[in-house]
Amino acid sequence: MSEVQQQPGRGFPGGYGQGPRAALLLLADGRFPAGGHAHSGGVEAAVADGRVHDAASLAAHCRGRLHTTGLVAAALAAAATAGADPLGLDQAADARTPSAALRTVSRRLGRQLLRAARAVWPAPALDDLAAALPRGAHQPVVLGLAAAAAGLGPLDAAYAAAYESVSAPATAAVRLLGLDPFHAAAVLARLAAETDSVAAEAAAAGRRAAADGPGTLPAPGAPLLDVLAEAHAAWPVRLFAS
């Protein structure tokens, strides 16, 4: 089904994972110019309902997101880095994102990340993806291809996606709740071991999907994130885009 033939690690003769590791810090940096800072990972809607109101409830929100949509995103990203067909992964992301609002957000973030990645780590695979999906590919798929273009491996891509799934809500909660930034950072620090295990699970699943097809990817959903995302998208005024 693919018109996009991705060669992992093109530009890095030894294959993926052969580039400078510090590229991962750049890719996962919240200041990387890919638009992620405008999204709260569902926390804005949760704060409005009183579901997230302090560091403990923020931690519970982040933990639930990490093990559900965070795992899915990390596995999709790892699969893309490992050379799975990006268009097949994009369809798999659709099937794993029942909320129309969240599909729209993911494609918008994917478009923004692709623009940045093509400038930072030019690679034919990124150009091919932009040509095949001009309205934007799902963000984790772009993230995986960007990681490959930077010479990173599937586990690196999984780390970037898994970390992003918790760092976005934690950062947003500082603004939304007036939470002490030290407390928000402590939430992320306490999730570090779980982030490790999710990234490892996602990398294994991503490699498997590259061999056996995207149907083998994990698909855990987060019903409340899905429902609240639809509500949030209908707000007339909001601080974050999602």
Partner 1 sequence: MADGRGGTALPLLAGDGPLALRRTGPVPAPGAAHVTVVGAMSAPLGGDRLRIEAEAEPGAHLTVGASAATVSLPGPHGEQAAYDVRLRVGTGARLDWLPEPVIAAAGSRLRMATRAELADGACLLLREEQILGRHAEPTGDLATRLTVVLAGRTLLDQELSFGPGASPGWDGPAVLGGYRAVGQLLYVAPDLTPPAPYVTPTTGPDGVAALTPLTGPAALVTALAPDGHRLRRLLDELQERLTAPVLTMAPGTATGAVPPTGSAAALNGTPL
For residue 199, which of 162, 241, 230, 238 has the smallest C-alpha distance?
162
Q: Of residues 3, 29, 54, 100, which one binds partner 1 by CB under 8 A?
A: 100
The owner of tokens 């909001």 is 238
Angstrom distance (rounded) from CA 159 to CA 149: 16
Task: Write out the binding residues for partner 1, residues 182-211 only, by CB under 8 A.
Answer: 194
Identify which of residues 8 and 169 has a Cβ nearer to partner 1 in the complex. Answer: 169
Give the number of residues in contact with partner 1, rule: CB under 8 A: 44
Among 10, 37, 51, 183, binds partner 1 (CB under 8 A): 51
- Using CB under 8 A as the binding rule, whether residue 233 contacts partner 1 is answered as yes
Nearer to partner 1, 61 or 108 (CB): 61
Report residue 108: phi and psi, to 5°: -65, -45
Angle, CA 117 vertex, CA 16 and CA 194 arms, to 5° = 65
User: What are the structure tokens assigned to 141, written together?
Assistant: 């798929």
Query: What is the distance between the alpha carbons of residues 97 and 53, in angstroms, rounded to a whole number?
Result: 26
Please count the CA atoms within 13 angstroms of the CA of 8 that sit on its side-chain side.
21
To the nearest 10 degrees (0 to 180), the angle between helices 55-65 and 181-190 is 40
Of positions 39, 96, 111, 207, contacts partner 1 by CB under 8 A: 96
Beta carbon of residue 215, minimum distance to partner 1 (angstroms, whole number) = 7
Of 11, 15, 35, 98, which lies in the binding site for partner 1, with binding defined by CB under 8 A? 98
Does 99 help bind partner 1 (rule: CB under 8 A)?
A: yes
Closest CB to partner 1 among 24 and 76?
Answer: 76
Binding residues (CB under 8 A) for partner 1: these are 42, 45-46, 49-52, 57, 60-68, 91-92, 94-96, 98-101, 103, 194, 215, 218-228, 230-231, 233-234
